[in-house]
Amino acid sequence: MNVLVIGANGNIGRLLVSKLSNSEHTVRAMIRDESQRAEMEKRGGEVVIADLEKDFDHALEGCNAVIFTAGSGAHTGPDKTELVDRQGAMKAVDAAKKNNVDRFLIVSSMNADTPENGPESMQHYYRAKGDADEYLQKSGLTFTSVRPGRLTNEHGKGSIQAAEKIEDRGAREIPREDVANVMVAALDTQNTYNRIFEVLTGNQPIDKALNDL
């Protein structure tokens, strides 16, 4: 697939660009700032300059899949979360439909469906993620929404637990590298099509965990 990564300069986005460039897929890295070009090209991505808060239809030309991993960050204010995590994701879904890009994957978050279970300071973030998931689910696109727990910068372990709802959450965390690995694996794993599921560090190899969902 020709994959557009929206949010390519983020922590997960940079990992995705590297991993996709070393896969059977080709990758286009969407960035806002020309100064980020060298880093993306070093990681093997074709670069497109576009702003999620403006018109970015040109970024999708020639692509047949989108991975949306842009985020305002869990500790930003509601205004930025609204612009990026809710409106930005919805705009990306609309752009995919307009440009006949059927496959759409999004990095969401645990508690996106239960924001009231999170700390008050993050509930706006969870609500935005949940609204984006719902919008994608109703879009008619072939979607996958992955809801990781607390993200860490540890090296990926290559093993996860995955379920529509994980009951025994243990440490409730997962390395960003493993989230990136899940997104790449899910691209053409049909068992993840039109599914929303949670992921945490676990004991199953990623491919098996996705196929056993």
Mean of all residue pLDDT scores within the chain: 94
The CA–CA distances, whole Å, from 84 to 50, 51, 66, 67, 125 equal 14, 10, 16, 14, 10
pLDDT, residue 169, reads: 63
Number of structural domains (the chain) is: 1
The verdict on whether 125 is a catalytic residue reads: yes
* DSSP state at residue 141: S
pLDDT tens column, 125-181:
999 999 999 999 999 999 999 999 999 999 999 999 999 999 876 678 999 999 999
Question: Which CATH number is 169's domain given?
Answer: 3.40.50.720
- Tens digit of each residue's pLDDT (9 = 90 or more) over 34-57: 999 999 999 999 999 999 989 999
End-to-end CA distance of the chain: 23
Compute the distance between CA of residue 76 and CA of residue 128 in angstroms, rounded to an integer. 12
* Amino acid identity, position 175: P
Interacting residues of 181 by C-beta distance below 8 A, sequence separation 6+: 19, 156, 158, 206
Computed from CA positions of residues 107, 166, 203, 172, in that sequence, does the dihedral angle turn out positive or negative? positive
Domain extent, residue 51, equals 2-211
The single residue of 125, 126, 135, 193 carrying the catalytic annotation is: 125
